[in-house]
Amino acid sequence: MRFSFGLMIVFSLMIVASLVYAEPFAPKVHVPQEMLDPTHPDALDAMMAKNSKIPSKQEVGLPAYQGAKVMHTQQPSGAQINGKELQPNHMVRMGTADPIDRVRRFYREQLSDWSSTESFGTHILYQGEGKFELMHESSMITPHVQIREAYPQESPLMPEMSTVIEIYYRP
Cβ neighbours around 133 below 10 Å, total: 12
Q: How many folded domains does the chain comprise?
A: 1
pLDDT in the model for residue 171: 86
- Quick: pLDDT tens for 3-48: 555 445 545 544 444 445 579 999 999 999 999 999 999 999 999 9
Nearest one of 68, 58, 34 to 163, comparing CA atoms? 68
Interior angle at CA 60, CA 54 and CA 61, nearest 5: 145
Cα four-point dihedral sign 106, 109, 115, 118: positive
pLDDT in the model for residue 149: 96
Is residue 62 within 8 Å of residue 167, measured between CB atoms?
A: yes
Give the mean pLDDT of 72-81: 82
Is residue 149 within 8 Å of residue 164, measured between CB atoms?
A: yes
Is residue 168 within 8 Å of residue 146, measured between CB atoms?
A: yes
Long-range contacts of 42-46 (CB under 8 A, 24+ apart): 42/156, 42/157, 45/71, 45/155, 45/156, 45/157, 46/157
Sheet strands (E) in 4-159: 69-74, 79-81, 84-86, 90-96, 115-119, 122-126, 144-149
Lowest mean pLDDT among 33-37, 130-134, 144-148, 156-160: 130-134
User: Is pLDDT of 80 > 80?
Assistant: no
Nearest one of 91, 62, 61, 64 to 76, comparing CA atoms? 91
Range of the domain at 54: 2-169
First to last CA, the chain: 45
